[in-house]
Chains A and B, each alone.
Chain A
Amino acid sequence: MYSDKVMDHFTNPRNVGEIENADAVGQVGNVKCGDIMKMYLKIDNEVIVDVKFKTFGCGSAIATSSMATEMIKGKTVKEALNLSNRAVAEALDGLPPVKMHCSVLAEQAVKSAIYDYAQKNNLHYEELDGYNPNEEDDHHDHGVEEED
């Protein structure tokens, strides 16, 4: 059911763990199935120099967190904010439709961490306009999992 890439990231997840004195920490819960993802960022001069995650969730949730951390490491904060769940899923050679929502969790974790960073440092990113970390987000591509 999963691609080799997903299985690889599930078995050998990159960037698992915590960052002490992180510049940003974000935690999100999945409204669909109750999973939790926590992301830590170290940011230097608007560049994400280090990133770590922890995930309580399925294989796809673990793999998408891992892939998302790889994709934003070394990128600017702005670039990271533009990471979409689609892009993460594509980088993993796709996810089963019922598992698309797990990738939304990864995207949300990145956003929520950067939101934390913006709050702490009084920064403004237009990509975060209207973003509320405590709100259920429905504007994302959840795939076609509704068909049951």
Chain B
Amino acid sequence: MKKRVYLDYSATTPMKKEVLDEMLPFFNVQFGNPSSIHCFGRENKSAIDKSRGIIAKTLNARTEEIFFTGGGSEADNWAIKGVASALKDKGKHIITTKIEHHAVLHTCEYLEKNGYEVTYLNVDQYGLIDLEELKAAIRPDTILISIMFANNEIGTIQPIKEIGVIAKENNIIFHTDAVQAYGNVVIDVNELGIDLMSLSAHKIYGPKGIGLLYIRKGTKIQPIIHGGAQERRRRAGTENVPAIVGFGKASEIASEGIEDHISKLTYLRDRLINGLTEKIPYVFLNGHPTKRLPGNVNICIQYIEGESLLLSLDMVGIACSSGSACTSGSLDPSHVLMAIGLTHEVAHGSLRLTIGDYTSEDDIDYVIEQLPPIVERLRQMSPLYEKVKGGN
């Protein structure tokens, strides 16, 4: 069989067998509606609470501060719209960054159309925000700071603890989208001063379609989905019990093995970065060299375009992604790559390879072996490369 190497773990992860096994009975045997009074319902209610408890523990949060949602994007929407509507009398100013996930950015743009003001913080060449710029952006009417924990494209990890301190000093709610960070960075909501946090199960080897919003006790936030008393009246809708159970199991596995996971991925990541930058000329790393997710590699390969790279890699069984305009549907290059100061042309050659638990050293070496001739072939076709080589 043809070799297949999956290096798109930031897009999604395969579910672990233990997670699937845990979920299966909840589809047909233990199928009751958790809101029902009878035993079919009750046993599911307790399964949900068990998951809630497991997840809370991994975050050093309280069980009653975990609210399940239909995914990370819903959690982001809820955090921002929910605070905006709860605090609209206090103020209508929100601070976020230019490199957020679209679930945050588009929600903020939506609020701007509805009378709110949003400050989008810049980032430096590594993708880090400037804490002084954050402090300067705070106004008396600022009601929310929403800054992602770790970036999905370039992997940069923000100074969350410092942001938490600034938010607290100014009495502003602090939300972080930790969808990429969870399971890859140790998160303690109390130590980091986080008030609201979005998580998703399918990035940590759990099922798709389930996420959560951590809400620190006492945080002012309105529901955005109305219609039932589920999730302590804050998020209506019959609970997705199998997914919640799976989320709990995935969290448990992720938090138990996090030290090994981090060190293994970091090793493979650096092996891949070093291998590629040594073997291919005109390649550089995007994001921060050390303040980055353990499994994230994002490079720019100059003078070629990302979609043609993805197609060529796919032909040899390697699956990854790119921030090139040509891959984006909207034909705009990645807003993250633009924010770290890349030109449109250089962003064209971006390649994101994200490593996970099933990645082997063999896989990494396979990419290091396969990519250079692909790059060379595409460069031979590129009118930009002939100049570099001194031809013309």
* Residues of A contacting B326 in the complex (Cβ-Cβ under 8 angstroms): 33, 35, 57-58, 61
Rounded to whole angstroms, the CA-CA distance of A27 and B315 in the bound complex is 30
List residues of chain A with CB under 8 Å of any chain B CB: 2, 7, 10-11, 13, 16, 18, 27, 32-38, 54-59, 61-62, 98, 101, 145, 148
* Residues of B contacting A62 in the complex (Cβ-Cβ under 8 angstroms): 308, 381
Judge whether B348 is part of the interface by a CB distance below 8 angstroms.
Answer: yes
Q: Which of B17-25, B89-97, B205-213, B382-390 contacts A (4 or more CB under 8 A)?
A: B382-390
List residues of chain B with CB under 8 Å of any chain A CB: 303-308, 311, 315, 324-327, 329-331, 333, 344-345, 348, 380-384, 386
Using known A-B contacts A56-B348, A56-B382, A56-B384, determine if residue A35 contacts B330 with beta carbons closer than 8 Å. Answer: no
In the complex, the answer to whether B383 meets A36 with C-beta atoms within 8 Å is yes
List the 3 closest A-B pairs by CB distance, nearest first: A58-B326, A58-B307, A38-B383
5 examples of A-B residue contacts, CB within 8 angstroms: A13-B381, A34-B345, A57-B326, A58-B327, A98-B329
In the complex, the answer to whether A57 meets B305 with C-beta atoms within 8 Å is yes
Interface centre among A34, A38, A62 (most CB of B within 10 A): A34
In the complex, the answer to whether B381 meets A16 with C-beta atoms within 8 Å is yes
Rounded to whole angstroms, the CA-CA distance of A37 and B331 in the bound complex is 17
In the complex, the answer to whether B383 meets A33 with C-beta atoms within 8 Å is no
Rounded to whole angstroms, the CA-CA distance of A33 and B305 in the bound complex is 11
Q: Which residue of A lies closest to B326 (CB)?
A: A58
Q: Which residue of A lies closest to B315 (CB)?
A: A11
* Residues of A contacting B305 in the complex (Cβ-Cβ under 8 angstroms): 35, 56-58, 61
Using known A-B contacts A56-B304, A58-B324, A59-B308, determine if residue A37 contacts B383 with beta carbons closer than 8 Å. Answer: yes
Main secondary structure of the interface of A (DSSP, over half): mixed
Closest CB in chain A relative to B81 CB, distance in Å: 23
In addition to A13-B381, A55-B381, A56-B381, 19 A-B residue pairs with Cβ atoms within 8 Å of each other are A10-B308, A27-B383, A33-B331, A35-B305, A36-B384, A54-B381, A54-B386, A55-B383, A56-B303, A57-B326, A58-B307, A58-B326, A59-B308, A61-B305, A61-B308, A61-B326, A62-B308, A98-B329, A98-B331
In the complex, the answer to whether A58 meets B383 with C-beta atoms within 8 Å is no
Interface centre among B303, B306, B345, B383 (most CB of A within 10 A): B383
Rounded to whole angstroms, the CA-CA distance of A145 and B332 in the bound complex is 12
Closest CB in chain B relative to A70 CB, distance in Å: 15
Rounded to whole angstroms, the CA-CA distance of A9 and B193 in the bound complex is 55
Rounded to whole angstroms, the CA-CA distance of A98 and B329 in the bound complex is 7
* Residues of A contacting B383 in the complex (Cβ-Cβ under 8 angstroms): 27, 36-38, 54-56
